[in-house]
Structure 1
Amino acid sequence: MFPFKIAQNRAALLVATAALAAASPALAQETERGALSVEASWTADVIGPVSGGVTRQAEVLDNIDIIADLDLGKAIGWDGATLHGYLLSNNGGIPNDNAGTLQGIDNIEVARQGARLYELWLEAPLGQATTVRAGLYDLNSEFYANDGAGLLINPSFGIGSELAATGPNGPSIFPSTALAVRLSHAWDGGYVRGAVLNAHAGVPGDPDGVDLDFDSGALVIAEAGLTGNLRLSVGVWRYSDDQDDIRDVTPGGAPVQRTAQGVYVSGERVLAGDAASTQVTGFFRAGVSDGDTSPFKGGWQAGVLVERVLKDRPDSAFSVGVQQGYLSSKMRANMAGGGLDASNAETGLEVTYSDRLGDRITLQPDLQVILDPGGESGADPVVVLGLRVTVDLF
């Protein structure tokens, strides 16, 4: 069974945005001058378990991205400054309900469907090599990210689960970001950047909208790295306000408050070839956290991306990735209390291939195998098949 529901709010969002860009003389003029760039894409996934899992049923889900960047140097003479806007709309099923994993199986799955203003930030230069960003900002766009993992669909390859599972509403990542200020300084061969983000994520389109009170404190994150053919980075993060312990409670029954914090490292290197031919890139990263405030105490991901697999097809790409999300001792104790035999980690393997058909359509079949799904030792492996279709709208 392949349930599909056409999202009317998505069509309205797309039509309204395109009409705005076309109808506004000011925006049209900036586009002609090269100051404004607008791109939009529609992604649809059909995905579900074919072996193991809770139920063997495929779900259809989709995602619309509309991204606009205004070069303020070309528009008003503010050299080096950029205004960035990102509209996001998601609809469809929740395939992980069928798979029953802890880390998910599809990186466009959301718990609450609808349209959102995903990002809206201003970036300005501070000298020759330093920039500041302020506004609604996705921390995973610049922190804890590997370009070499970008083709993989499993959410664990987007950001480590030990960080993704934190915060009162999740950290400032897909699908809801938070108000933030980011400072970045780069030099030949390296960079250092840091950000302070509202600990409570929320954007226009979420029930409560943007949180302006900062009642939950802030998430502080910093990363330093080397660039070039070999890219290495190390990052640290910490919440300013204590978070609920997932197991320990006070004598009155309230969760004990703990400090949520962690550290991660990542690396990426071109192993063979170059951009003009078949290029092979390897990546690796690992992270650990306090283990008190989320189900995960750490994890790692590694894999290979092969671009231009077929020399006469420049958009062909193949990727394989392996990952583990390690359960904290408190999560395992909670599972044991519920009568489950908890494993040390949930482990996943993903293999995927992507290629463009014509000028606008990309097809991507995907295979995933999840061991100890849901963190349950001895549970039948889940085998997931999926197909992603991406259409470049403009």
Structure 2
Amino acid sequence: MLGNLELTAEGDLGRLVGWRGARVHVHLLSNHGRAMNDFAGTLQGIDNIEVADGRTKLYEAWIEQGFANDRLSLLVGLSDLNADFYQNDAAGLLIAPAFGIGSEFAATGPNGPSIFPSTALTARLNIAVTPSAYLRAAVVDARAGVLGDDDGVDLTMQEGALLIAEGGSTRGGGKLALGLWQYTRRQDDLYAVDLTGAPIRRIARGAYVLLDQRLSGSDARGLSMFVRAGVSDSATTPFRGGFQAGLLANGIIRGRPDGQLSIGVAHALLSSGMKAQLRDAGDRPGAGETGLELTYQDRVAPFLSVQPDVQYIRRAHGSGTARGTLVFGLRIIAAFARR
């Protein structure tokens, strides 16, 4: 069993202290539970709230200042990168981690980029080019860490920074976007070493493209789709690329307006270094790992939702021929809000 407790607060600093055009956001996070993926044995994971070390922490704390009637905004602080980059609304119901951010990006950096479960110091600029087109870019500390983690917040940037930019259009109720990312400091090669046995250092970089589009109906009762693909340098990460695609249906059962049904497929291509590591461990790696997920969420009380979930993962490694894993789950969500 996994547990995820979150407490968020957001305030308009103009109303609170007279700081016009600014808002503040604080997000506390507490996770606990067993390592469920140890039983499934997948490389990408099966649950987006699973953590290696359960604890309570300050997850986000940032201030955002708007300029020029909010056509321009600057955010500074501890921020979740996936809230602004590599994000598809239509994939939000799915539980497998690969639908949150592509595995080829999520597995980069000294200890992962600024995403769940630890963020990093960030400066993010957002420009509304037109009412339906945007450009945004961020400089992010390469080492994620927050209050509550063993090493706390990194204020030195001794391991460099992650540079990321995304541009896109939201015309027609959807989103089409292209993103690029790169680390400023070289990262260890996953497998290759020099004559002294030390890992060869390489620049980690990548790109992604995504499409999120409503196919029919409205937000309350309609069908949306998403598709996206990403690539990495393939030397410093276990994955050289991958893609995710799926559908989200809202209000498909008459009389159940809060019901949501989603299906998605996620495929990750293994890098040569990762396959070499698996072979050294006695496994027989394939070209990639594929996951298929079907989930349904519905509100059973004003504050309570339930979400049964089923996943089938064709694992990319194994010592025998049986590499498939079938996972059944149930997520219970209690949410309370006060303005």
TM score, norm. by length of structure 2: 0.96
Say whether 1:68 aligns with 2:9: yes
Give the CA deviation at 1:182: 0.2
Task: Judge conservation of contact 2:96–2:293 (CA < 8 Å) in 1.
Answer: yes
- 2:109 paired residue number: 167
- 2:288 paired residue number: 345
> Deviation digits for residues 99-137 of structure 1, max 9, x if unmatched?
000000000000011101000000001323000000001
Work out which of the residue numbers 170, 192, 196 in structure 1 matches 2:135: 192
Task: Judge conservation of contact 2:285–2:316 (CA < 8 Å) in 1.
Answer: no
- 1:122 paired residue number: 63
Task: Judge conservation of contact 2:278–2:317 (CA < 8 Å) in 1.
Answer: no
Task: Judge conservation of contact 1:245–1:255 (CA < 8 Å) in 2.
Answer: yes
Task: Judge conservation of contact 1:100–1:373 (CA < 8 Å) in 2.
Answer: no
Say whether 1:363 aligns with 2:292: no
Say whether 1:292 aligns with 2:235: yes
Task: Judge conservation of contact 1:101–1:375 (CA < 8 Å) in 2.
Answer: no
User: What SS does the aligned partner of 1:97 have?
Assistant: helix
- For 1:194 and 1:125, the matched residues in 2 are separated by 15
Work out which of the residue numbers 382, 385, 391 in structure 1 matches 2:325: 382
- 2:46 paired residue number: 105
> Deviation digits for residues 258-313 of structure 1, max 9, x if unmatched?
0100000000110011134x210000010000000011000100000001122322
Task: Judge conservation of contact 2:186–2:204 (CA < 8 Å) in 1.
Answer: yes
> Deviation digits for residues 355-394 of structure 1, max 9, x if unmatched?
0011111000000000025477843310000000001134
Work out which of the residue numbers 108, 121, 124 in structure 2 matches 1:179: 121
User: What SS does the aligned partner of 2:19 have?
Assistant: coil
Give the CA deviation at 1:325: 0.7
- 2:79 paired residue number: 137
For structure 2, the 5+ residue unaligned runs are: none
Q: Quote the sequence identity (%).
A: 50
Task: Judge conservation of contact 1:80–1:124 (CA < 8 Å) in 2.
Answer: yes
Task: Judge conservation of contact 1:217–1:240 (CA < 8 Å) in 2.
Answer: yes
Work out which of the residue numbers 58, 77, 82 in structure 1 matches 2:18: 77
- For 2:144 and 2:48, the matched residues in 1 are separated by 18
Task: Judge conservation of contact 2:284–2:317 (CA < 8 Å) in 1.
Answer: no
Work out which of the residue numbers 191, 215, 221 in structure 2 matches 1:247: 191
1:222-237 matched pairs, under 5 angstroms? 222-228=165-171, 229-237=173-181
> Deviation digits for residues 50-75 of structure 1, max 9, x if unmatched?
xxxxxxxxxx0100111100111221
Change (3 A) 1:375 1:171: farther
- For 1:373 and 1:182, the matched residues in 2 are separated by 36
Work out which of the residue numbers 133, 150, 159 in structure 2 matches 1:207: 150
User: What SS does the aligned partner of 2:305 have?
Assistant: strand
- For 2:122 and 2:322, the matched residues in 1 are separated by 41
- For 2:90 and 2:318, the matched residues in 1 are separated by 27
- Aligned alpha-carbon RMSD (Å): 1.3
Task: Judge conservation of contact 1:373–1:382 (CA < 8 Å) in 2.
Answer: no
Change (3 A) 1:374 1:82: farther
Task: Judge conservation of contact 2:283–2:318 (CA < 8 Å) in 1.
Answer: no
Which structure has greater helix proportion? 1
- 1:21 paired residue number: none
Task: Judge conservation of contact 1:176–1:202 (CA < 8 Å) in 2.
Answer: yes
- For 1:206 and 1:344, the matched residues in 2 are separated by 35
Give the aligned residue type for 2:33: G
- For 1:359 and 1:260, the matched residues in 2 are separated by 46
Give the CA deviation at 1:337: 2.7
Task: Judge conservation of contact 2:59–2:146 (CA < 8 Å) in 1.
Answer: yes
- Shift >6 Å, 4+ stretches: none
- 1:391 paired residue number: 334
Change (3 A) 1:392 1:231: same
Number of aligned residue pairs: give it: 334
Give the aligned residue type for 1:245: D
- 2:219 paired residue number: 275
Task: Judge conservation of contact 1:166–1:294 (CA < 8 Å) in 2.
Answer: yes
Give the aligned residue type for 1:159: I
Change (3 A) 1:359 1:116: same
User: What SS does the aligned partner of 1:79 have?
Assistant: coil
- 2:258 paired residue number: 315
User: What SS does the aligned partner of 1:206 have?
Assistant: coil
Task: Judge conservation of contact 2:283–2:317 (CA < 8 Å) in 1.
Answer: no
Change (3 A) 1:222 1:376: farther
Task: Judge conservation of contact 1:162–1:295 (CA < 8 Å) in 2.
Answer: yes
